[in-house]
Amino acid sequence: YRFYLPVVGARNVLRVLRLEGNRLKLVDTILRIEPPLPIDNYEGVSAVKTRDGYRLYLISDPIGDNDPTHLLMFDYRP
């Protein structure tokens, strides 16, 4: 999820959730994107299994005409 509060600014959090009955249960928080990392309007997430965990890719959708597209890559090891 992503959110913005004027006091702290923008944040992006990637979590693994499991559906148990009719409720979502938090399994793990695997990524937090907050300053000084680039904060953007991330639209896509992809995970590729690696030997030690996962490689995560996030891609942004630029907001302004001159804003760059960001493609971020993180390695996650549980």
Domain boundaries, the chain: 2-76
Residue 4, both tokens:
């913005």
pLDDT tier at 32, thresholds 50, 70, 90: confident
Say what percent of the chain tops pLDDT 70. Answer: 100
Distance CA 59, CA 34 (A): 15
Say what percent of the chain tops pLDDT 90. Answer: 27
- For 13-29, what is the mean pLDDT? 92
Q: Which residues contact 51 (CB under 8 A, 6 or more apart)?
A: none
Q: Which residues contact 4 (CB under 8 A, 6 or more apart)?
A: 10, 11
pLDDT value, residue 26: 95
Where residue 24 falls (left for φ over 0; alpha for ψ -120 to 50; beta otherwise) is: beta
pLDDT at 23 over 90: yes
> In this predicted model, which residue has the larger pLDDT, 74 or 39?
74
